[in-house]
């Protein structure tokens, strides 16, 4: 049995996905209405105040894929931008535990979300694999070196500036996964153009599940 299938991890994930369905079902229509009002000026940072209680997790299939990618890549250092309540982090940390090595550094701006994520990591029995840093990723990830796996799932307009900031810390052959590429296509255009241009040092492809995941291999 893998850690992902273990009773402790399954119980936390099943409970949180059910809670996310109930909770986000009410929140997301409000966000969509605000997005329509903002039109071309839409930026997820402008609706962040509506998302304070929202899980907006990776879907279970993307979670499974994260587990598979981390098992295959065997990162010593994995980093995640955007913890929220911790669902993607639990998938990544379960894979690290099954690899028998590696640590996940995950970072969340919202203090209440970070506190709840910490509790979920403890309940899943994965806290020892996870270094949860509350604050702005641009500060909390300063000085992190040797990143073998990077998951981008915070506000979309920050994917490219954060990738470029962390680029000197990516190890050769590292994997970068970016969620929601089809959800906010306009905001993510510069990011996708960058990782899909071979002269920037990535081999990149879209995995068309749910809102789309871009997986990029750093040369």
Ligand X SMILES: C[S@@+](CC[C@H](N)C(=O)[O-])C[C@H]1O[C@@H](n2cnc3c(N)ncnc32)[C@H](O)[C@@H]1O
The count of chain residues that interact with ligand X, using the rule CB under 6 A, is 20
Residues 113-132 that bind ligand X (CB under 6 A): 113
Question: CB of residue 126 vs ligand X: minimum separation in angstroms?
Answer: 14
Question: CB of residue 177 vs ligand X: minimum separation in angstroms?
Answer: 11
Binding-site member from 12, 13, 109, 213 for ligand X (CB under 6 A): 109
Question: In the complex with ligand X, which residue's Cβ is closer, 142 or 203?
Answer: 142
Question: CB of residue 68 vs ligand X: minimum separation in angstroms?
Answer: 16
Give the C-alpha separation, 21 to 167, whole Å: 35
Residues 76-95 that bind ligand X (CB under 6 A): 82, 84-88
214 binds ligand X (CB under 6 A): no
Residue nearest to ligand X (CB): 82
Q: Which stretch binds ligand X (CB under 6 A): 102-110, 168-176, 192-200, 203-211?
A: 102-110
Residues 41-80 that bind ligand X (CB under 6 A): 56-58
Question: In the complex with ligand X, which residue's Cβ is closer, 32 or 197?
Answer: 32
Residue pair 152/179 in contact (Cβ under 8 Å)? The answer is: yes
Binding-site member from 92, 108, 121, 195 for ligand X (CB under 6 A): 108
Report the 3 state secondary structure along the chain: CCHHHCHHHHHHHHHHHHHHHHHHHHHHHHHHHHHHHHHHHCCHHHHHHHHCCCCCCCCHHHHHHHHHHHHHHCCCEEEEECCCCCHHHHHHHHHHHHHCCCEEEEEECCHHHHHHHHHHHHHCCCHHHEEEEECCHHHHCCCCCCEEEEEECCCHHHHHHHHHHHHHHEEEEEEEEEECCCCCHHHHHHHHHHHHCHHHCEEEEEECCCCCEEEEEEC
Question: In the complex with ligand X, which residue's Cβ is closer, 201 or 211?
Answer: 211
Give the C-alpha separation, 24 to 27, whole Å: 5
Interaction pattern, residues 132-171, with ligand X; x per rule: CB under 6 A? ----xx---------------xxx--x-------------
Question: CB of residue 153 vs ligand X: minimum separation in angstroms?
Answer: 4
* Binding stretches for ligand X (CB under 6 A): 56-58, 82, 84-88, 107-110, 113, 136-137, 153-155, 158
């Amino acid at each position: 049995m893998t850690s992902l299938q273990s009773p402790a991890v399954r119980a936390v994930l099943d409970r949180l996905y059910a809670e996310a369905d109930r909770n986000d079902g009410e929140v997301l229509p409000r966000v969509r209405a605000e997005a329509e009002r903002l039109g071309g000026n839409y930026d997820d940072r402008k609706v962040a105040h509506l998302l304070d209680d929202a899980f907006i997790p990776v879907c279970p299939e993307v979670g499974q894929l994260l587990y598979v990618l981390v098992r295959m890549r065997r990162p010593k250092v994995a980093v995640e931008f955007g913890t929220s309540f911790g669902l993607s982090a639990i998938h990544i940390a379960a894979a690290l535990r099954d690899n028998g090595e590696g640590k996940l550094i995950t970072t969340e701006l919202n203090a209440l979300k970070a506190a709840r994520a910490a509790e979920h990591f403890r309940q899943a029995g994965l806290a020892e694999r996870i270094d949860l840093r509350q604050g702005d990723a641009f500060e909390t990830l300063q000085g992190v070196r040797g990143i073998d796996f990077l998951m981008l799932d915070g506000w979309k307009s920050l994917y490219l500036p954060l990738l470029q900031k962390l680029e000197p810390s990516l190890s050769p052959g590292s994997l970068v996964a970016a969620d929601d590429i089809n959800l906010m296509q306009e905001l993510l255009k510069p990011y996708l153009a960058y990782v899909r241009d071979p002269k920037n040092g990535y081999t990149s492809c879209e995995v068309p599940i749910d809102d789309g995941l871009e997986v990029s291999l750093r040369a």
